[in-house]
Structure 1
Amino acid sequence: MTAITQNLPWFVKDLGVSIVGQKCYTSIVENLDFGDIECLKYSISKGLGLGIVVGGSIMKVPQLLLIVNARSARGLSLTAYVLETLSYAITLAYSYRNDFPFSTYGENLFLTLQNVLITLLIVHYNPPKALAARSPVQRAVLSVQAMLAFAVALVVLPSSTIALFQLATLPLSLFSKVPQIRQNQRAQSTGQLSAFAVISQVGGCLARLFTTATEVGDPIVSAGFALALVLNVVLGAQMWLYWGKDEKEEAEMSQLGVVDEKKAHWAPPTHQVEVVVPPASPGGRASPRPSTRRWARKVD
């Protein structure tokens, strides 16, 4: 096998070296030395990191499609998404300022952009009371202005302040998930929440704990991923508990709607009384006896 791995095309070798470095590429790929634990862990971490970055670029797409197709953001907490977006953006700025490898934080760039779109859709379809009286264009402009102001702040603020913001991502992660968890619990439903997004976040947090410990070793970042993992597991458990409940309720409401429609068009039956008079007697006079008169009720 080493005869093959040591003679791979140049573009494969260059790609491998750019990802894991010359030393680990030679050890793991060319020499197939899987006993080199340090390089093996590093290579696995790099592979997971790149996979998470690629997965993060599409992680929220199913959630976006759910909202757009349903033309509703029912069941999604605006507060949760605003706080989650802030957390992603702060982690992105903190990691970039500290020159961490892109494979350890790259998904935060894509998740921030996708969360911005989801937040704008929530404001559009289910605006908060403070913005409900404004037009959709005004709501969008105000939301974009607030997001741009925060983005500029992350760019111009000193690294020491960004480090303090990174500490704040711990409570932000907590408060970003708690409103969504409470809303799910209150409604006994997860609404338009995407199962794919929740499951992907659980897997991503697990992988990020490994990559952060292997390549970065920053306890603040690790603590943030650990807390996010716990909260995403809770959301996953709610998805499992309430799975299919929305469809069941819609079916029941549909059946009730049919009954109500029938009731709405129902009118009390008209009652007609038909008097049956016996034939006249041979003498040409009807029988005077009332007992021979029959009453019948006809219901139309």
Structure 2
Amino acid sequence: MTSITRNFPRFIKDLGVAIVGEKCYVSLVENLNVSDVDCLKYAVSKGLGIGIVVGGSIMKVPQLLLIVSAKSARGLSLTAYVLETLAYAITLAYSYRNGFPFSTYGENFFLTLQNIVITLLIIYYPTSRLTRTPNIAPQLALATVLTAISGVTLYTVPLATLSALQMATIPLSLFSKIPQIRQNARARSTGQLSAFAVISQIAGCLARLFTTAAEVGDLLLASGFALALALNVVLGIQMWTYWGKDGVKEHGIPLEVRTQVEQAEKIPSDAWQHDGKVDIVIQPASPTLSSHGRTQSGRKWARKVD
């Protein structure tokens, strides 16, 4: 078997060496030395890291599709996504500027970009028809400018300051999940929150704890991933508990009332308004019949309301 593994095409060897290094490639692939624990652990870490980066590139895509298809960001917390995006961006800048392997932080690059788009969509699409604002262009412009300023700042601040910011991502991760957790609990629904994204984040945090310990050994990064794992597990439990439920309230308004208001908004105003007056037709629950088969009241159940 070693006669085959030692004669793999050049491009396969180059790829293997690029992933696990010359020493571990020779030990694990060419010599098939599966008892080399250090190289085996390193290879597993690299494989997990690459898988997380690839998964991170599409992790939030289902969430994006849910918002766009529903044309609503109902159930999503703007505060939670702003804080989560900032935490991703800080970790990305901290890892990049410290020269860590891309396989240990690459998903943060893709998650930051996807979260920025989701945040802008939450601003663009109201969480409810009742909260729709007439002009959201200034809000979108302000959010875009602040995002650009934050990116430039993280790229240029001193490393000592960036390390302090990385430490701040631990409470930042906590505060980024709590608004979403509270909103889910209050509404008894997860709204447009994507189950795929939540499950992927749980799996990603578990894998990141392993890869960080195996390749980087940075306590700050490990602590952040551990806290994120715990909070994502809470979101996962809420997804399971509220699965298939649309919630009873949104912004303190009962679901049935909110639905009636939203349906009324779809009716053109000229279809039910005439000269500043509104026609309200009230049907009796059960009109009483007389002995001649007529209702006791011959009046029409309608009145004009100014």
TM (normalized to structure 2)?
Answer: 0.81
The alpha-carbon distance between structure 1 residues 2 and 265, as it changes in their structure 2 partners (threshold 3 A), is farther
1:235 partner letter: L
Distance in 1, Cα, partners of 2:288 & 2:245: 43
The answer for the alignment partner of 2:229 in structure 1 is 229
Secondary structure of 2:190 counterpart: coil
Q: How many residues align?
A: 268
1:86 partner letter: L
Bigger Rg over Cα:
1
Q: Does 1:246 align with 2:215?
A: no
1:136 partner letter: I
CA contact (8 A) 2:188 2:247 kept: no
The alpha-carbon distance between structure 1 residues 137 and 4, as it changes in their structure 2 partners (threshold 3 A), is same
Q: CA deviation at 1:126?
A: 2.5
Distance in 2, Cα, partners of 1:202 & 1:43: 22
Identity of aligned residues (%): 65
Distance in 1, Cα, partners of 2:62 & 2:134: 29
Q: Give 1 or 2: higher helix fraction.
A: 1
Q: CA deviation at 1:273?
A: 5.8
Distance in 2, Cα, partners of 1:12 & 1:264: 78
| Superposition RMSD in Å | 2.7
The answer for the alignment partner of 2:214 in structure 1 is 214
CA contact (8 A) 2:209 2:225 kept: yes
Q: CA deviation at 1:247?
A: 9.3
The gaps in structure 1 that reach 5 residues or longer are: 258-262, 275-296
The alpha-carbon distance between structure 1 residues 298 and 137, as it changes in their structure 2 partners (threshold 3 A), is closer
Q: State how 1:160-175 maps to structure 2 within 5 Å.
A: 160-175=160-175
Q: CA deviation at 1:29?
A: 1.1
1:137 partner letter: A
CA contact (8 A) 2:198 2:235 kept: yes
Q: CA deviation at 1:197?
A: 0.3
Secondary structure of 2:35 counterpart: coil
1:149 partner letter: I
4+ runs deviating over 2 angstroms: 131-134, 246-249, 263-274
Secondary structure of 1:81 counterpart: helix
Q: State how 1:42-121 maps to structure 2 within 5 Å.
A: 42-121=42-121
Give CA deviations for 1:254-279 in whole Å, capped at 9, x if unaligned.
xx98xxxxx976786585665xxxxx
The alpha-carbon distance between structure 1 residues 164 and 188, as it changes in their structure 2 partners (threshold 3 A), is same
Distance in 1, Cα, partners of 2:185 & 2:135: 31
The alpha-carbon distance between structure 1 residues 40 and 264, as it changes in their structure 2 partners (threshold 3 A), is farther
The answer for the alignment partner of 1:32 in structure 2 is 32
Give CA deviations for 1:119-176 in whole Å, capped at 9, x if unaligned.
0000111279xx9756222121111011111111111111111001000000000000
TM (normalized to structure 1)?
Answer: 0.83
Q: Does 1:139 align with 2:139?
A: yes
The answer for the alignment partner of 1:291 in structure 2 is none
Q: CA deviation at 1:5?
A: 1.3
Q: Does 1:9 align with 2:4?
A: no
Give CA deviations for 1:47-85 in whole Å, capped at 9, x if unaligned.
000000000000000000000000000000001000000
Distance in 1, Cα, partners of 2:183 & 2:76: 8
Distance in 2, Cα, partners of 1:132 & 1:266: 35
Secondary structure of 1:245 counterpart: coil
